Amino acid sequence: MINSFRTYLKHVLNLIYNIMIKNFLKSHPIHKKIVPFFDVIMLPRLTLFFGVWVMICIGMYIGSLVNGATEMNITSFDLPTLILFIGISLVCSSIFIINQVDDLEVDKANNKASTINQYVTKERASLISNIIGVLGFLLIICIDFIVIFPLFLIYILWGRLYVDQKLNLKSVPWMGLFFYVSLVYLLILSGVIYNRYDSGAIDMIIESIYYAIPFILAYSSIALMIDISNKDGDESVGRQTFTVSFGVNTASILAFFLCLLSFFMGLYFSEPLSSISSLSALPFFIFQIFRGKEKDILRSIRYPIFLLNFYVLTIYPLLFFPIIISYYLAKYYYWHRFKIHYPTLLVEND
């Protein structure tokens, strides 16, 4: 009797979810009126922050490691830390918008959904980029002036030099990888400097370098897979990126060895976070080398980032909230704005 009631109740709840809640969220016309309000929020592509926030957290973790104060499951809320994340996010948003404006043709060739030019003009996007960039720097100055320096370097490198049409650095094969490495290291450095305790900033930078190397190598392997995924668009505009110049196989093999080296260096430095995250990601790069289908490229980008965030959550569980909010907000936006299921961890045949 009780089991029958439970089965019936489960059936009713599933019916309510599928007919009322799921259909409402997916198909109700009211969402067409709501979603334009998110255009500005989605300009920098929120999914890019899955890689930004985790690197700041890794920097804070390395700062604790250097100072011998490593903790797990840190759940205490800290307002200055929140301001730090908001400030860095605003600066990175400004940079991402600048790069999207520069990459409109490439994104179109790669069939990437873009809010810019479709729903927000380039001029308005550039204005928003400038405003939020200034606001981000002001917020960071309020809590820790020294953190400005790595953020300023990120802005100069990614927001100015990398998109400079005269320099045309996006067409230099090794430059894409170099700029990804610089971005990752400087984001890590921001977290290291912020979490320096009573140590000097210079001492922290020097002592943290070798802890940062495994994470830089791991993220460089993901950067190469992103480069592979953009190959068609880059070729269409005449860019000689690493993958265009040396081929998909070379880029895939290099990505695998960078990830493998990250694992061994993590072991050598007795640093568990980089070693376990790199080891977990290696199978995806192996599949990419030996099979090389589009789904393998996507898995080699999405799953290593997911795994790294997953492991970092054991140290900073509060990171879960911005990640999950951004994930579902982006999912809602891209479905009702572009009719695509994105972001998603599901790849064909998963």
Whole-number average pLDDT of the chain: 89
The per-residue pLDDT for range 87-141, each reduced to its tens digit, is 999 999 999 999 999 888 888 888 888 899 899 999 999 999 999 999 999 999 9
284 lies in a domain?
A: yes
Task: Give the pLDDT of residue 21.
Answer: 62
329 lies in a domain?
A: yes
Task: Give the pLDDT of residue 238.
Answer: 83
Task: Give the pLDDT of residue 19.
Answer: 55
183 lies in a domain?
A: yes
126 lies in a domain?
A: yes
- pLDDT under 50: residue ranges of the chain: none
The residue range of the domain holding 261 is 40-338
104 lies in a domain?
A: yes
CATH of the domain at 86: 1.10.600
pTM: predicted TM-score of the whole model, two decimal places: 0.90
1 lies in a domain?
A: no
29 lies in a domain?
A: no
**Count of domains in the chain?**
1
3-state secondary structure the chain: CHHHHHHHHHHHHHHHHHHHHHHHHHHCCHHHHHHHHHCCCCCCCHHHHHHHHHHHHHHHHHHHHHCCCCCCCCCCCCHHHHHHHHHHHHHHHHHHHHHHHHCHHHHHHCCCCCCECCCECHHHHHHHHHHHHHHHHHHHHHHCHHHHHHHHHHHHHHHHHCCCCCCCHHHCCCHHHHHHHHHHHHHHHHHHHHCCCCCCHHHHHHHHHHHHHHHHHHHHHHHHHHHHHCHHHHHHCCCCCHHHHHCHHHHHHHHHHHHHHHHHHHHHCCCHHHHHHHHHHHHHHHHHHHCCCHHHHHHHHHHHHHHHHHHHCCCCHHHHHHHHHHHHHHHHHHHHHHCCCCCCCCCCCC
69 lies in a domain?
A: yes
